[in-house]
C-alpha cells in the first residue's frame, strides 16, 4: 500500500528538551541569536557599572589634557595674540553646556563602543603624529585636531553610538578649537578682503560718491583708502558664523533651516564690513582724516555694526522658524 506524498515544506526542526520533555524549535533559537547589528564591534552593553564608566571617561580626559597641556597653553596664548581667534575661549564652555542639557540620557546610557571608539582614538593619535612633521601655527592646528578627534573617540568609547549621535552637535562644535591652517586662513582672508572691496564699490556707487578704484585702493576727492587684509572682517565673520550655528541648533528644527541661516550669515558679514569701510572713508574724506588714521571709531566702530548684524541674524532666524511652522502645518493637512 502506498502512503500519500506530503508536498508541504518541512516545518522547523524540533529537539526534545532534557528537562521537561518539551520540544525546542531551532528557528526560535535562531531568532533569538544576535544579529550583525548587535555585534560587539558596533555596539555592546556596558559590562561594568555606570559610575565606573563615568570615572573612566573623566580620568581619560584628564590624561589627554595632561599629555597635550603645552599645546593647550599655546592655544590660549594664540587667542590673546590674534583677534580672529578670540572666540576659541568660549568653544569648550558652549560644548559643555550643550552636553549638560542632555546629561540625563548621557549618564543613564548603558551602551559603549570600545572597538569603534578605539579606532577613532587611533585616528586622533595618527593626526598628532602627522603634525610632528609641521611647524609653527600649522603644527598647533594638527595637535588640536588630534585632541578634538580623540575627544570624539573617548566619548564614543564610553557612551556608544546612540548617545554620540544624540549629542553630536556639542561634540562637532569642538572642531572650532582647531586653528585654521595658514593656507586656508589666507584664502579665507583674501576672499573676505575681495568681497568687502566689491561691496564697498557698490555702496559708493549707490550713494553717488565719486571714487576712483584701483584694486583694493579707493581714491576719493581728498583722501585715499586701502582695503587691507586687516579690513577683511574675518573676526566678525567667524563670530557671526558661530552665532548662527548655535542659534540654528537651539531655535530651528529643519536641516534646510540650519544650513540656510549659516549661508545667509556670510553675505551679511560682508555687507556689514562694507558699511564700516565706506562710513569711515566718508568721514575721513569730508570731515577729518583722523577718523581712519587715529580714532576710537576706527578701532571700535565695528561693535555697533556687529550688534546690528546680530539683530538682522535673529530676525532671519525668526522668519525661517515661521516658514518651518507653516511647512509643518501644510504637511499635517
75 and 126 in a single domain? The answer is: yes
218 and 310 share a domain? Answer: yes
Residue 252 domain-assigned (yes or no):
yes
- Same domain? 140 vs 195: no
Domain range spanning residue 220?
188-332
Grid coordinates belonging to 145 = 585636531
Instruction: Assess whether 132 and 228 both reside in one domain.
Output: no
Of 179, 203, 233, the residue that ends a domain is 179
Q: Is 193 exposed, middle or buried (0-12, 13-18, 19+ CB in 10 A)?
A: buried
Same structural domain, 275 and 212: yes
What is the tally of structural domains in the chain? Answer: 2
Alpha-carbon span 204 to 279, nearest angstrom: 10
Residues 134, 182: Cα–Cα separation, whole Å? 12
Q: CA 236, CA 228: separation in Å to the nearest integer?
A: 16
Q: Alpha carbon 177 to chain centroid distance? A: 10
pLDDT (tens digit per residue) in 154-174: 999 988 888 888 889 999 999
Please determine, for residue 35, whether its predicted confidence score (pLDDT) is greater than 60: no
Over 80: is that where the pLDDT of 245 sits?
A: yes
Of 119, 154, 179, the position where a domain reaches its end is 179
In the chain, the largest separation of any two C-alpha atoms, in whole Å, equals 121
Q: Are 146 and 202 contained in the same domain?
A: no
Is the pLDDT higher at 200 or at 107? 200
| Judgement on whether residues 143 and 234 belong to the same structural domain of the protein | no
**How far from 264 is each of 51, 181, 223, CA to CA, in Å?**
44, 24, 33
Last residue of a domain, which of 115, 145, 179? 179
Mean pLDDT of 221-239: 86
Instruction: Indicate whether 254 belongs to any domain.
Output: yes
Per the domain annotation, does 20 fall within a domain? no
Percent with pLDDT over 70 in the chain: 84
Could you tell me if residue 98 is inside a domain?
Answer: yes
Do 192 and 328 have their domain in common?
yes
Contacts of 205 (CB under 8 A, 6+ apart): none
Check whether residue 163 and residue 200 sit in a common domain.
Answer: no
Question: Average pLDDT in the 16-38 region?
Answer: 41
Q: Nearest-CA neighbor of 126 among 109, 139, 143?
A: 143
Q: What is this structure's pTM?
A: 0.78
Q: What pLDDT is stored for residue 95 in this prediction? A: 92
What is the rounded distance in angstroms from the CA atom of residue 55 to the CA atom of residue 328? 43
Residue 243: inside a domain: yes
| Model confidence at 247: pLDDT above 80 | yes
Residue 6 lies inside a defined structural domain of this protein: no
In a domain, 201, yes or no: yes
Domain match, 326 and 225 both: yes
Residues 212 and 260 in one domain: yes
Whether 130 maps to a domain, the answer reads yes
For residues 228 and 143, state if they share a domain.
no
pLDDT in tens, 50-80: 788 888 888 999 999 899 899 899 888 888 8
Amino acid at each position: 500500500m502506498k502512503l500519500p506524498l506530503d508536498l508541504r515544506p518541512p516545518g522547523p526542526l524540533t529537539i526534545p528538551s532534557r528537562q521537561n520533555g518539551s520540544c525546542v524549535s531551532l528557528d526560535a533559537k535562531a531568532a533569538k541569536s544576535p544579529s550583525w547589528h548587535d555585534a560587539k564591534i558596533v555596539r555592546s552593553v556596558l559590562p561594568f557599572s555606570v559610575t565606573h564608566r563615568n570615572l573612566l571617561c573623566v580620568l581619560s580626559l584628564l590624561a589627554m589634557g595632561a599629555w597635550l597641556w603645552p599645546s593647550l597653553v599655546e592655544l590660549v596664548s594664540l587667542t590673546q595674540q590674534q583677534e580672529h581667534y578670540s572666540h576659541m575661549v568660549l568653544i569648550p564652555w558652549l560644548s559643555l553646556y550643550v552636553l549638560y542639557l542632555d546629561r540625563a540620557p548621557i549618564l543613564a546610557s548603558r551602551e559603549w563602543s570600545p572597538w569603534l571608539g578605539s579606532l577613532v582614538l587611533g585616528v586622533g593619535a595618527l593626526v598628532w603624529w602627522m603634525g610632528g612633521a609641521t611647524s609653527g601655527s600649522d603644527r598647533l592646528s594638527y595637535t588640536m585636531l588630534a585632541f578634538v578627534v580623540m575627544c570624539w573617540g573617548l566619548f564614543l568609547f564610553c557612551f556608544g553610538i546612540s548617545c554620540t549621535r544624540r549629542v553630536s552637535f556639542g561634540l562637532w562644535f569642538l572642531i572650532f578649537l582647531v586653528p585654521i591652517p595658514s593656507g586656508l586662513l589666507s584664502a579665507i582672508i583674501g576672499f573676505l578682503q575681495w568681497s568687502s572691496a566689491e561691496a564697498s564699490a557698490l555702496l559708493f556707487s549707490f550713494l553717488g560718491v565719486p571714487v576712483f578704484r584701483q584694486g583694493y585702493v579707493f581714491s576719493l576727492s581728498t583722501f585715499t583708502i586701502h582695503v587691507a587684509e586687516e579690513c577683511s572682517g574675518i573676526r566678525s565673520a567667524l563670530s557671526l558664523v558661530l552665532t548662527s550655528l548655535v542659534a540654528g541648533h537651539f531655535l530651528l528644527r529643519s536641516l534646510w533651516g540650519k544650513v540656510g541661516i549659516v549661508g545667509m550669515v556670510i553675505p551679511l558679514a560682508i555687507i556689514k564690513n562694507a558699511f564700516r569701510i565706506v562710513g569711515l572713508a566718508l568721514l575721513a574724506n569730508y570731515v577729518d582724516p583722523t577718523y581712519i588714521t587715529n580714532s576710537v571709531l576706527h578701532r571700535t566702530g565695528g561693535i555697533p555694526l556687529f550688534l546690528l548684524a546680530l539683530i538682522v541674524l535673529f530676525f532671519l532666524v525668526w522668519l525661517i522658524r515661521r516658514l518651518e511652522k507653516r511647512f509643518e502645518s501644510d504637511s499635517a493637512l
